[in-house]
A and B are shown apart, each in its own frame.
Chain A
Amino acid sequence: MENIKKVKVKVNGREIEVPENYTVLEAARAANVNIPTLCYLKDINEIGACRICLTEVTGARGMVAACVYPVADGMEIKTNTEKVRNARKLNLELVLSNHDMRCLSCSRSTTCELQTLCNEYGVQAGTFLNPNAKEEPHPIDDSSVSIIRDNNKCILCRRCVAACATLQDIGVIGPNDRGYDTHIGSAYEMKLADTACVNCGQCIVYCPTAALYERDDTQKVFDAISDPTKHVAICCAPSVRATLGESFGMAPGTDVEGKMVSAIRSLGFDAVYNMNLTADMTIVEEATELIDRIQNGGKLPMITSCSPGWIKYCEHYFPEFTENLSSCKSPQQMFGAIYKTYWAEKNNIDPKDIFFVSVIPCTAKKFEVGREDQSASGYPDVDVAITTRELASMITKTGIDFVNLEDEEFDTPFAMATGAAEIFGATGGVMEAALRTAAELILGGKFEKTDFEEVRGTTGIKHAIYKVGDLDVKVAVCSGTANAKKLLRAIEAGEDDSVFIEIMACPGGCVNGGGQPYQPAVVRNNVNLAAVRASVLYSADSDNELRKSHENPALKLIYDEYLGEFGSEKAHHILHTSYVKRGVYQNIK
């Protein structure tokens, strides 16, 4: 970085020095001047399409799109002129000319970036009457169990396309047709559910409006809570406690575990559990499976199976790797499975009367609950999966003053969890947790290392080798399906001989999942959200006296009373699953 030349520019008359490869947008930001953007996403969508960032600079004929216009020495940048304010306002009014403007009933009201800008610029609705107002509204695509598209709210910024095609390297959505007819959709106007969409939901968190949102399953949960014949339990995924506060105006990186438990209890659930317990369970099962594969010539590398977005990605795009997937269910499914079998038997409750909910940072989990081979008790392991955002909306609807709640504890007997489980929500976390356990299972005793620093951090692909006894365990960790593609291609080409691989579909892991609270692009462009949120999990890990999954006493109790050994036949029946080879265009003959 040090050899990048600096140039002098003036922002609204104030001179500053910035690197010569800066854009006008970045230079203004360095001078504490915020230039509004709608389409701009750093690195993945720098297309200058929305024209909201128009700014006056010397040497250009008209106004320039600040997000893509490079600075030059001596340039004067002006954002404080009437011309600039009017141009931005005009462009917002043009965007609104074919927007449905139903803000009152819109799920993104108050988190919508378009609405925010319109307020800031004093835009009048309906300045430009839509000449095609009599046209049929765009049909809403609600074919997917996870992601719903409403193009009546779409402003064609293409951020979802960038998330899907560039960030995730999937590309099942893109702009179709031309001119006024341009709309975002799939090839041949296929429904999203018919495409090889993996339901990761990154398109949702990058959408500035409500053109994309998750299927709202909160009413099903409210209905179950109101039903006196149902025992309604919920378990909370590791990363939800690290992000839920953001929905209530708290800063990213605030741990709200205690408030979350309290709020959920106030919603009327019969029991609130910690999914970290089954994260630990996933680890002991997965580590046992890994050792078995290494010692008995099983399929290697073994790849983790906690991320349902990754599972669907693998099934569609790399079906030949489905045998490499660990057969372990995800922690969510394990929890439901163990609850509707072990706990139900122990408490003499018919599993059909249990309504089991999970709250997760993930839209792909909504697909996972409906998968085959996920019904250990004969009933679906999990009835409904709601995202962090949906939980926040339930809390808001119930009038709970979240920020001022007293901390409460999870319900027993499923409250106990280790530090290893805490870090499941960050890329590298599952790997680190598994290594802590696998190393000790292999050695049959203590392993000197607890912190596996090499697999931490938000880098897309990480490699490490650990010496366990006389065994060299080569591992790889990757997050984001674009990185998964690179890694799997390297394995196919024989360039990577890792034996154990962790893959998560979302870049940075669950903390950056598709179901996490909305953060506007200005935050996403300037803060490493995944790292800030993950810091909550890593400090919870280091604060925990128990660091290794197999030392969890609640877990040991379940194995002693019910499952037997790690990886026993009964454990396999309840805690493991199977996969489908889907292919990409399987529905086209």
Chain B
Amino acid sequence: MKKQPTTVPFRGTAEQEQQLLSVIEKYRGIKGAMMPILQEAQGIYGYLPIEVLKIIAEKTDTPMEVIYGIVSFYSQFKLNYDGDITISICMGTACYVKGSADVLNEVASELGVEPGATSSDGRYSLDATRCIGACGLAPVMIINGTVYGRVKKEEVAGILAKYKE
């Protein structure tokens, strides 16, 4: 699935930037260091927005597009900060045939968040995940670690209501 760039304003601190700079310094001159730099950068910021890639691009003398190519390729890298409430919906085969795509669309329209994105107020993030191994409960939705099984499209609004305030 295509990754969605964030719509949440950047909230990086000077302290985080200092940490990032020392990470880049640590890997200076080491070939193939972009992956660990990105991993550690994501560890510092929680995601990889354009402001972070700008620093990495400038300090490693690498075109930003080259780095973005890596970030958008690997599913481990995130373009969005996790919202306060993270919602994951399983797209494994069992969940999918039981209608998890409908559930996903329902959540997306209910919250106004694209799958793979975080709402612009930073409150909700929505993800379509691979099989989580709970096929007996298909379709499965997880909100902040709480598992909801056999979710019907019609029940989505009711479940989400608990998290809205």
Report which A residues bind B (CB closer than 8 A).
165, 170-178, 181, 186-189, 195, 584-585, 588-589
Contact A188 B68, beta carbon cutoff 8 Å: yes
Known: A178-B73, A585-B58. A171 touches B63 (CB 8 A): yes
Contact A187 B2, beta carbon cutoff 8 Å: no
Q: Which residues of A contact B72 (CB under 8 A)?
A: 176-178
Which 5 A-B pairs rank lowest in CB-CB distance, beginning with the nearest?
A171-B63, A187-B68, A187-B64, A174-B65, A174-B69
For B68, the closest partner residue in chain A by CB is A187
Q: Does B103 contact A (CB under 8 A)?
A: no
CB distance from A538 to the nearest CB of B (A): 36
Q: Which residues of B contact A584 (CB under 8 A)?
A: 57-58
Contact A585 B57, beta carbon cutoff 8 Å: yes
Q: Which residues of B contact A181 (CB under 8 A)?
A: 1-2
The answer for the CA separation of A178 and B70 in the assembled complex, in Å, is 10
Contact A189 B73, beta carbon cutoff 8 Å: no
Report which B residues bind A (CB closer than 8 A).
1-3, 5, 50-51, 53-54, 57-58, 63-69, 72-74, 79
The answer for the CA separation of A175 and B67 in the assembled complex, in Å, is 10
CB distance from A95 to the nearest CB of B (A): 21
Given contacts A174-B66, A585-B57, 12 further A-B contacts (CB under 8 A): A165-B66, A172-B63, A174-B65, A175-B69, A176-B68, A176-B69, A177-B2, A177-B3, A186-B65, A187-B64, A187-B67, A585-B58
The answer for the CA separation of A588 and B9 in the assembled complex, in Å, is 12
Q: Which residues of B contact A187 (CB under 8 A)?
A: 50, 53, 64-65, 67-68
The answer for the CA separation of A173 and B66 in the assembled complex, in Å, is 8
Contact of B68 among A165, A170, A174, A589 (CB under 8 A): A174
Contact B66 A171, beta carbon cutoff 8 Å: yes
The answer for the CA separation of A461 and B74 in the assembled complex, in Å, is 38
Known: A181-B1, A189-B5. A171 touches B58 (CB 8 A): no
Identify 13 residue pairs between A and B in the complex whose beta-carbon atoms are under 8 Å apart, listed by A's number. A165-B65, A165-B66, A170-B63, A174-B69, A176-B69, A177-B73, A181-B2, A188-B50, A188-B53, A188-B79, A584-B57, A588-B50, A588-B54
For B49, the closest partner residue in chain A by CB is A188
CB distance from A370 to the nearest CB of B (A): 25
For A585, the closest partner residue in chain B by CB is B54
The answer for the CA separation of A588 and B72 in the assembled complex, in Å, is 19
The answer for the CA separation of A229 and B65 in the assembled complex, in Å, is 47
Contact A165 B64, beta carbon cutoff 8 Å: no
CB distance from B114 to the nearest CB of A (A): 13
CB distance from B53 to the nearest CB of A (A): 7
Q: Which residues of B contact A178 (CB under 8 A)?
A: 72-74
For B73, the closest partner residue in chain A by CB is A178
CB distance from B62 to the nearest CB of A (A): 8
Q: Which residues of A contact B1 (CB under 8 A)?
A: 181
Contact A188 B54, beta carbon cutoff 8 Å: no
CB distance from A585 to the nearest CB of B (A): 5
Contact A172 B58, beta carbon cutoff 8 Å: no
CB distance from B161 to the nearest CB of A (A): 33
CB distance from B55 to the nearest CB of A (A): 10
CB distance from A402 to the nearest CB of B (A): 40
Contact A188 B73, beta carbon cutoff 8 Å: no
Contact A188 B5, beta carbon cutoff 8 Å: yes
The answer for the CA separation of A585 and B63 in the assembled complex, in Å, is 10
The answer for the CA separation of A187 and B69 in the assembled complex, in Å, is 7
